[in-house]
Chain A
Amino acid sequence: MGFEKFGRKSFTGMTKTAKFVDLLQEGKVEGTVCKQCGAKYFPPRADCAACLSKEMDWFEVPKKGKVETFTTAYYAPFGFEKDCPYTMGVVDFGDGTKLFARIAAKPEEVQVGMDVTVRTITYEDGQVSFEMAKA
């Protein structure tokens, strides 16, 4: 339980990685790292695909990265219409970790290669998420 609070609107209720939402509420954006083989995952996973272990630790993702690519949505799926237009993109931390999220900036301000920071966000309806902002 708990994962229904993730994002603007969650499509998943139960997951063994629901602690991700608790961490967001503490202001942390974390992935998982395998205790057995050290494989790192973002988004987090409960199971290691590399060595099949289910013993995972949490690690905080880097705070700063660069926008690898992005898009601005002018049409939205059901339940997201009020947010239009909104920008989403991929941030590359340069250490093998990437992250996909919304970018809190006007569409014309965003550029490929732009430095961004990652932060948590709580929406007015209590949903929690993470987003990128211009560094």
Chain B
Amino acid sequence: MEKDVAVIGVGQTYFVRGYEGSIRELAFEAFREAVQDAGITSKDIDASVFCSAPEYDKQRSPAGVLAEYLGLIPQPTFYIETVCSSSSSGVKVAYSMIKAGLHDMVVVLGFQKMSEITSAESQERMGRGADIQWEAPFGTMMPAYYAMYAQAYMAKNGLTHDDMRDVRLKSASYGTVNERAVYRKGVKAEDFDPKNPDAKMAGAVAWPIRVGDACANADGASCIILANKEKAKAFSKKPIWIMGIGAASEAVNMAARPDFSKGLSVGYKAADQAYKMAGITAKDVKVAEVHDCFTIAELMAYEGLGFAPMGEGKQLIREKATYKEGRIPVNVDGGLLSKGHPIGATGGSQIRTIVLQLRGEAGPMQVPGDPDIGLVHNVGGVGLYGNVTIFGR
């Protein structure tokens, strides 16, 4: 692999409900941590990329405003959006800027203050999550879309409700040790049992998706600092190199989607590109972060990334192969299900986890065996956008 562009600094705020500050202050927290982690000063950064889902921002065109607050003017600044995978897309853009030789060091700052708008406003936006012309008029929302994938998996691939529950149980077991996660309580199997009157996870949201199958909204920010080879070697003792980077898009309307029982096409298309560029296969990946906005999404990702054959993702959770001690540890920071999903910040948070894993600095979440290759899978919308990024030492 070519060692051209490296991550030299990572930062992330606590993911919380109702952050007590403005978006610029939220962004600053993640930025400060990443700059200190990289051992640089703001002046070393020669461009910035900001990422969020704009429907939650009251601030129009936030990049300029945040660049000023972070002390990054007069350097150029850009705004990148692919909903839930915005900051992975931001990393792809920053990588390209560095690779092209236009910039030496670029910061990617993902943020979202979902509590910026009222819950009524949020509910109204929820209905406009996908195709507003042809689907929203039926009363669609995010869980309903993922539920249709889950339904197809249950009908054709033998997936069960218990498999989906077990993804959440795994996530929650790591959420309890991730101090930056919004949901830190443990979850038990009986929390999903419909016969249990106190089962807080069992309620139907969009059948077959239950409360416990869904991640929570949160406020948060993440920050990734990328540098070219020279700067990475000058500043960083433990640079983590970008080995492969893939991205794909798919039709927004469900009527134009291929077979629902084969998962999200953007997942496997982005993965193919990233593996090819990195010159590796799924077997070489030692630790992964996948986009688990819903439990079904993690199971689909196992297959799209080649960790399991198509239709067999369920076997990985049944065999506990994606636990920390398993064959391919996945989302051992609690994933979106436990950390929460501050849309624009999510990809950067996943990248931060993998960087810490490869440096051996993940604390109670550290995967044993000194992992040297890690993967981030980040999906925008209902598989409207997909990004897969592979990192190595």
Contacts and interface: CB of A to CB of B under 8 A. Distances in A.
Contacts of B135: 100
A129 B255 contact: no
Contacts of A71: 144-145, 147-148, 151, 206-209
A134 interface: no
A102 B134 CA distance: 12
A76 interface: yes
B311 to A, nearest CB: 14
Contacts of A74: 203-207
Contacts of A111: 155
A17 to B, nearest CB: 8
Q: For A86, A90, A107, which residue has the most chain B Cβ atoms within 10 angstroms?
A: A90
B205 A75 contact: yes
A43 B130 CA distance: 14
Interface residues of A, number: 41
Contacts of B207: 71-72, 74, 107
B361 interface: no
B147 A86 contact: no
Contacts of A43: 131, 133-134, 253, 255
Nearest to A31: B255
A11 B136 contact: yes
A77 B139 contact: yes
A77 B148 contact: no
A112 B127 contact: no
A72 B205 CA distance: 8
A115 to B, nearest CB: 15
Contacts of B256: 98
A99 interface: yes
B101 to A, nearest CB: 35
A110 B347 CA distance: 37
B259 to A, nearest CB: 8
Interface stretch (B118-126, B174-182, B229-237, B268-276): B118-126
Contact of B141 (A15, A72, A77, A129): A77
A68 interface: yes
B149 interface: yes
B253 A76 contact: no
Interface string A65-97: 000111111111111100101101110000001
Given A8-B139, A112-B152, A73 B134 contact: no
Contacts of B257: 90, 98
Contact of A88 (B124, B140, B149): B140
A23 B209 CA distance: 35
B254 interface: yes
A129 B136 CA distance: 12
A12 interface: yes
Contact of A90 (B131, B139, B260): B260
A100 B254 CA distance: 6
Contacts of A2: none
A96 to B, nearest CB: 10
Given A71-B147, A89-B148, A99-B255, A12 B138 contact: no
Nearest to A12: B133
Interface string B190-221: 00000000000001111111000000000000
3 tightest A-B CB contacts, nearest first: A7-B137, A77-B127, A80-B139
Interface of A: 3, 6-12, 15, 42-43, 68-80, 83, 85-86, 88-90, 97-102, 107, 111-113, 129
Interface of B: 120, 123-124, 126-128, 131-141, 143-145, 147-149, 151-152, 155-156, 203-209, 253-257, 260
Given A77-B140, A99-B255, 12 more contacts: A3-B133, A6-B137, A7-B136, A7-B137, A69-B152, A71-B206, A73-B144, A74-B203, A75-B205, A97-B255, A107-B207, A129-B138
